[in-house]
Amino acid sequence: MWRNLLFPTSLRRAAIVALSAVFVFASGPTWAQEGAASEASRDTRSDPRTLLKALVGIEVDVPGNARTAAGLGTRREGSGVVISEDGLVLTIGYLILEAATVDIMLQDGREVAAEVVAYDHNSGFGLLRAMQDLDIDPMPLGDSAAAAANQRALVATRNGFSDALGVRVVSRRVFTGSWEYMLEDAIFTSPPHRQFAGAALIGEEGSLIGIGSLFVGDAGGQGDGVAGNMFVPINEIKPILQELIDNGRRDAAARPWLGVYPETLRGFVFVTRVADDSPAKDVGIHAGDIVVEVDGVGVGDLEDFYRSIWAAGDAGTAIDLTLLSRGGQLREVTVPSMDRRDWLRLEPSF
């Protein structure tokens, strides 16, 4: 019952059998071990359809004056994964960022109000908690370090089994985003799922190994032309999960944030946009400026740029930039960095 080119309608029954053979579940005997057993005698906890009931829909309303409203919209929808018995839901953070209200949509048609527990900019994860009992078995957290290139996996969304997509891990590598964001070991898969936001990436052992973030056109590397999705590895949240639950954020000091939206082009770091009321805006950085140096050290791509900024110290550290303007003039500016959370218009639930 997979809706994708790999599993056409005529092969749906075979797809279910194949899916059963791929996943090994800690909660009971593996499908491979049960190959001779009838489907009726299998442990229902091992059934992929039961596992995927942990996928829920997330529907979010964001105020029109939110910092992220222009770029991400005021009505956001995606998926999330129930990861605890008490209704904790893991999703991609941009869905719930600056949320006014959040509702969880269950596959049985129920709608449950939720509260925002945490948002972590470094990883990109967001956490919610249902405000009433969901009566859903949580999905176990797996080991994303084991998700190597060419490994089989499953992408699942709020629509559960009917919308699941068989994929392969295409690459593991650094991902940089223009919103002052970088992941050291992002997971890239192909083919792409159209409903990637907050989707679950499930490994061969039947556990959660990633949360969907983006559609990409270069899943295998820059310029390869392979369409796919980028997932945030689940191992990113394990060391900070309790901190996020307790405090709404990680305990470590915040990184310096400037408020620029850069892109790499031909070995140069171009500023494409500057956030309103940001440190960069305050010191006169403009779209079209090229960042030549950070604290006297040359930078040639976003990875260099971010590493140099974050190595300078915690949020509040002054960052010296050498810029080349569109008119061809070099100038130096000192940017008094800040904690990005202090710039966002976050709800009191944070």
Residue where one domain finishes, among candidates 212, 247, 282: 247
27's tokens: 């909660």
Residue ranges making up the domain that contains 155: 17-22+139-239
Tokens 């084991």 belong to residue = 146
- CA atoms within 13 A of residue 243's CA, in its CB half-sphere: 13
* Predicted pLDDT at 46: 54
* 143 and 233 inside one domain: yes
* Predicted pLDDT at 336: 98
* 143 and 235 inside one domain: yes
The structural domain count of the chain equals 3
Asked whether residue 34 is domain-assigned, the answer is no
Q: Which residues of the chain have pLDDT under 50?
A: 1-45, 348-350
114 close to 171: Cβ distance less than 8 angstroms: no
* Predicted pLDDT at 48: 75
Asked whether residue 350 is domain-assigned, the answer is no
109 close to 103: Cβ distance less than 8 angstroms: no
222's tokens: 């820059």
* Predicted pLDDT at 20: 46
* 157 and 71 inside one domain: no
* Predicted pLDDT at 3: 32
Asked whether residue 348 is domain-assigned, the answer is no
283's tokens: 């010191």
Find the CATH number of the domain harbouring 331: 2.30.42.10
Asked whether residue 27 is domain-assigned, the answer is no
Asked whether residue 330 is domain-assigned, the answer is yes
* Predicted pLDDT at 26: 32
How many CB atoms are closer than 10 A to CB 72? 16
What residue type is assigned to position 60 of the chain?
V
300's tokens: 């040639």
* 235 and 156 inside one domain: yes
* Predicted pLDDT at 347: 65
Residue where one domain finishes, among candidates 247, 277, 306: 247
233: preceding bond cis by omega (within 30 degrees): no
